[in-house]
Amino acid sequence: MPQLKLQGVEVNDICKISIDMIQEMQELLECPKNYFTLECTSSTYIMEGEIIKTYPIVEVAWFDRGQKVQDAMAKIITKYIHSAGYKDVDVIFSILEENRYYENGKHF
């Protein structure tokens, strides 16, 4: 945990930034690297009857760590998406509740 779903970012671009980005996030959150998952989702965006290319959207599902840490996490993600050549990026956080998150049948 956390789980990042990335849309509007090329898979190869995610691969290029993933090691350093996860390292920096891991240092911020003080948790093992294997707690992080990155998923590249493919979406087709349509505007006014035309298929368009959109800017990156990163959805982060995680346990609440407070506003200060969340702000720092958003800055890390934004920095690395920008470094991959994307001008704009949206980062959206979804807060998971420990008693509603199960791993192997047991909640946190």
- Taking the whole predicted model, whether its pTM rises above 0.85 is answered as yes
52 token code pair: 């368009």
> Residue 106's pLDDT is what?
83
Q: Give the pLDDT confidence of 43-101 residue by residue, as tens digits.
A: 888 999 999 888 899 999 999 999 999 999 999 999 999 999 999 999 999 999 888 88
Residue extents of the structural domains in the chain: 3-107
E strand map for 1-108 = 3-7, 37-41, 45-47, 50-52, 57-63, 90-96, 102-103, 106-107
**Are the C-beta atoms of 62 and 96 separated by less than 8 Å?**
yes
State whether CATH 3.30.70.20 applies to domain 3-107.
no
* Number of Cβ atoms within 10 Å of the Cβ of 38: 18
Rounded CA separation 47/88 (Å): 18
CA–CA gap between residue 77 and residue 28 (Å, rounded): 12
Cα–Cα distances in Å, from 18 out to 4, 27, 36, 90?
11, 14, 10, 17
